[in-house]
Amino acid sequence: MSHMGLGGCIILIAAGAILTFATDWEVEGANLDVIGLILMAVGIIGVATFTSIARRRRVVVPPTTPVVEDRPNPRTYE
């Protein structure tokens, strides 16, 4: 799923919704309503996976060592 990206998942959801709700096509040997539902389910799972991976990548761990500047303070030389 992570290779598909968020855009691909949204396209799957949209294509599945179109097949399920916006068409009345009849194809011999295939139920387009079920295919549309499967596409929407795969798209929703992909969005959930993508957002959980993105949320994990955003976790920022604070540095464990303090940052110390080496520059002297210019005000002490006045």
Domain of 41 in residue numbering reads as: 5-56
Higher pLDDT, 47 or 71: 47
Compute the distance between CA of residue 32 and CA of residue 16 in angstroms, rounded to an integer: 9
For tokens 């799923």, name the residue: 1
**Within-domain flag for 63:** no
**Within-domain flag for 78:** no
Give the pTM. Answer: 0.66
- Give the model's confidence band at 74: pLDDT under 50 very low, under 70 low, under 90 confident, else very high: low
Eight-state DSSP code of residue 2: T
Q: Give the DSSP per-residue string, 9-30.
A: HHHHHHHHHIIIII----BTTB
**Within-domain flag for 9:** yes
Give per-residue pLDDT as tens, 24-41: 989 999 999 999 999 999
Give Cα separations from 14 to 8, 49, 71, 73 (angstroms): 10, 18, 57, 60
Count: domains in the chain: 1
pLDDT score of 63: 65
